[in-house]
A = this chain, B = another copy of it.
Amino acid sequence: MVAELEELTGPGQVAPGGSPEAKDDYTHDEALGLTPVTPQAVVWPEDAAQTSRIVEWANARSVPLTARGSGTGLAGACIPRPDGVVVAFDRMHTIVEIDTANQVAVVQPGVTLQQLDEATGREGLVYPVFPGEQSASLGGNVATNAGGMRAVKYGVTRHQVLGLQAVLGTGEMIRTGGKFVKATAGYDLTQLIIGSEGTLALVTEAVLRLYPRPTHTATVLAPFASLPACTGTVPDLIHTGVGPLMIEYIDVVTMAALAGTGDLELGVPPAVQEQAVAYLVVVLESHHEDRLQEDTATVAELLAGAGALDIYVLPAAAGAQLISARERAFWVAKAAGADDIIDVVVPRADIAPFMEEVSALAAATSSWVSGCGHAGDGNVHMSVFQADPQKRSEVIEGILRAGVGRGGAISGEHGIGIGKRKYLAAIEDPAKLDLWRRIKTAFDPNNVLNPGAIFE
C-alpha cells in the first residue's frame, strides 16, 4: 500500500502505520474512552488532484479512508480502520485567498483556526466560529459542523461555509457553492457534506464567510441560586435584540474546577460563591463603545431583575480569562477523570427542565454528571463520571433520549463519529437511518470514506 500510495503522491508523503512518522497521534482523536487504532498507512496529500487519486485508488482497492485534520474531534470520527489509510490534511494548510471585497476566505482543509484568525485580523475581518480549540483545522470543522461559544450570534460552521471543493467516494472532484450567500440551482451539496464526518466526501477547499471584526467587547458574569433562574433568563436576553456574542452557563462544580486550574480572578466574594449554583456569562461585542455600554447596562438590568445574586461587569483581562477557562472545560473534565462527555442540544427554553431529568437519571445510576454549556443555543455539555461501562451506557442513553424527547438532538457540535453511533442507532428514526445510508451510497458507492462513522 505504501509503495502504491507513494506513486500516487510523492516521496515522503506516505508512512506505514506504526512508523515514527505515522506516530500515535494518527491513531485517535480527543474522544474519551475509545481505543486507538493503527492504520495500514498515513498519506499526506499536497493538493486536490493527489487527494482525488488517493480516493480513486481506495475505491478500486476497497480500502477504507479516514480523513484527518488536527485530530481535535471529540467523537472518534477520525479513528482509522485497521485495514485502512489515514488521509492527513496537515500539509494542505494554505490560505488560498482573503478576498476583502467579497468578505470571504478560501482555505485548504489543513488551515487552523489560529492561522485563519491571524490572517483575517490583519484585514479587520473575522471568521466567527470559535469551537474553543484554535489548533483545530477548518477541514475538521467542516466535517463536524463545529460550533462553539459564538454560535448564538453567528451560527455555526454550517452558516459560514459558502462553498466547497470536495472529492466523492469515486474520486470525482466537484465544486459546490461559491463566493455568494444564496443560490437555488440544484440540491445543496455544500450543506450535505458539512457535518458528514468524512463519510460523504473529502473536502479539499472551503469558501468561508467573513465579517467585519468588532472592536469592543464586554463580559457580564451573574451568579444565580438555581439553574432554572439562571437559564430562564436566556429567552429574555435574546428577546432584547442586543444580540449577545455568547451566552454561557457554567455549573458551580465546573466553575470551581475552572477556578482551580488557573489564576481566574472574577471578584466574586465568598458569600456570593456559597449561594451560587449556576453562573451565566454574557459577552457582548460592538463596533461602538457607547452602544456596547448601553447594551451591557440592558443586560445587567435584565439579569438583576431576574434574580441574579449579583452582577459583575468584568474588566477586559478578567473577561478574556474567564472565556479562556471556559474553553478549557473539556481538559478540566478530562483531568478530573470524566469517563465520557456528551453535548445534547435542546430548545433553549428547556435547559432547566432537561437538566432536572439529567440529575434524576444520574442519581438513579449513581453516576455523577456536571454541566456547562452554550445556553443561548440550548447546547449542554456534560461530563459523565461513571466507571462501569454498562451503567455509563445506560445513563448516557437515558440523557440522550431525554434530550431527543424534548425535541432536541443527540449532539449539538461534537458529532456522532464511532463514539456515539450506538446511541444514534438506538434512538434515531429507522426511516432516516435508511435514507442516510442511501445518501451515503450516492456519494460513496463502495463505502470507502470513513466506513462505520455515524452509522454501521
Mark A residues whose CB is within 8 Å of B.
99-104, 124, 144-145, 147, 151-152, 155-156, 158-159, 168, 172-189, 191-192, 194-197, 200, 211-212, 214, 235, 238-241, 287-288, 291, 294, 345-349, 377-379, 407-416, 424, 428-429, 431-433, 435-436, 438-439, 441-443, 454-455
Residues of B within 8 A of A288 (CB): 291, 294
In the complex, what residue of chain B is closest to A427 when comparing beta carbons? B185
Chain A at the B interface: SS class:
loop
Given contacts A409-B180, A435-B442, A442-B442, contact A102 B185 (CB under 8 A): no
Contact, CB under 8 Å: B180 / A412: yes
Minimum distance in angstroms from A200 CB to a CB of chain B: 7
Residues of B within 8 A of A438 (CB): 441-443
- The smallest beta-carbon distance between A138 and chain B, in angstroms, is 15
The CA-CA distance from A443 to B376 in the complex, in Å, is 34
Chain copies in the assembled complex = 2
Contact of A172 among B241, B349, B431 (CB under 8 A): B431
Q: A174-B429, A442-B435, A442-B442 are in contact. Are A416 and B379 (CB under 8 A)?
A: no
- Hey, which chain B residues are within 8 Å of A238, CB to CB? 103, 212
Partner of A178, one of B175, B294, B408, B442: B408
Q: Complex: how many Å from CA A151 to CA B209?
A: 14
Q: Are B182 and A155 in contact (CB under 8 A)?
A: yes
Interface residue from B174, B178, B197, B433 paired with A435 (Cβ < 8 Å): B174
Contact A379 B182 (CB under 8 A): yes
Knowing that A180-B412, A182-B413, A187-B192 are A-B contacts, what are 16 other residue pairs whose CB atoms are under 8 Å apart, sorted by A's residue number? A147-B182, A152-B181, A155-B182, A172-B431, A174-B429, A176-B432, A180-B379, A180-B408, A182-B379, A182-B412, A184-B413, A185-B415, A185-B428, A186-B424, A186-B454, A187-B195
Chain B residues contacting A197 (CB-CB under 8 Å) are: 184
Q: A188-B194, A191-B192 are in contact. Are A103 and B235 (CB under 8 A)?
A: yes
Most buried by B among A100, A182, A347, A416: A182
A409 to chain B, nearest CB (A): 4
- Residue pair B156, A182 in contact (C-beta under 8 Å): yes
Considering only CB atoms, which chain B residue lies closest to A214 in the complex? B241
Q: Which of A101, A180, A188 has the most CB of B within 10 A?
A: A180
Chain B residue contacts of A432, Cβ below 8 A: 174, 176, 186, 189
Q: Are A196 and B187 in contact (CB under 8 A)?
A: yes
Chain B neighbourhood of A436, CB < 8 A: 186-187
Q: Which residue of B lies closest to A163 (CB)?
A: B407
User: Which residue of chain B is the closest to A101 with respect to CB atoms?
Assistant: B349
Known: A182-B413, A212-B239. A192 touches B195 (CB 8 A): no
Residues of B within 8 A of A177 (CB): 409
Find the B residue at minimum CB distance from A144: B184
Q: For the complex, what is the distance from the CA of A408 to the CA of B443, rounded to whole Å?
A: 24
Interchain residue pairs A-B with the least CB separation, the first 6? A191-B191, A438-B442, A101-B349, A183-B409, A212-B241, A179-B347
| Interchain CA distance A191-B348 in the complex, whole Å | 21
B-side contacts of A173, CB under 8 Å: 431
Indicate if the CB atoms of A102 and B348 lie closer than 8 Å. Answer: yes
Query: Is A151 a contact partner of B442 (Cβ separation < 8 A)?
Result: no
Indicate if the CB atoms of B377 and A179 lie closer than 8 Å: no
Return A285 CB to nearest CB of chain B, in Å.
Answer: 10
Question: By the criterion CB–CB under 8 Å, are B185 and A188 in contact?
Answer: no
A410 and B182 CA atoms in complex are apart in Å by 11
- Is A192's CB under 8 angstroms from B184's CB? no
A124 to chain B: closest residue by CB: B239
Q: Given A186-B454, A441-B442, A442-B439, A378 and B180 touching (CB < 8 A)?
A: yes
Contact across chains for A186 and B428 when beta carbons are under 8 A apart? yes
A345's closest neighbor in chain B, by CB?
B180
Bound: A200/B172 CA distance, A: 23
Residue of B nearest to A379 (CB): B182
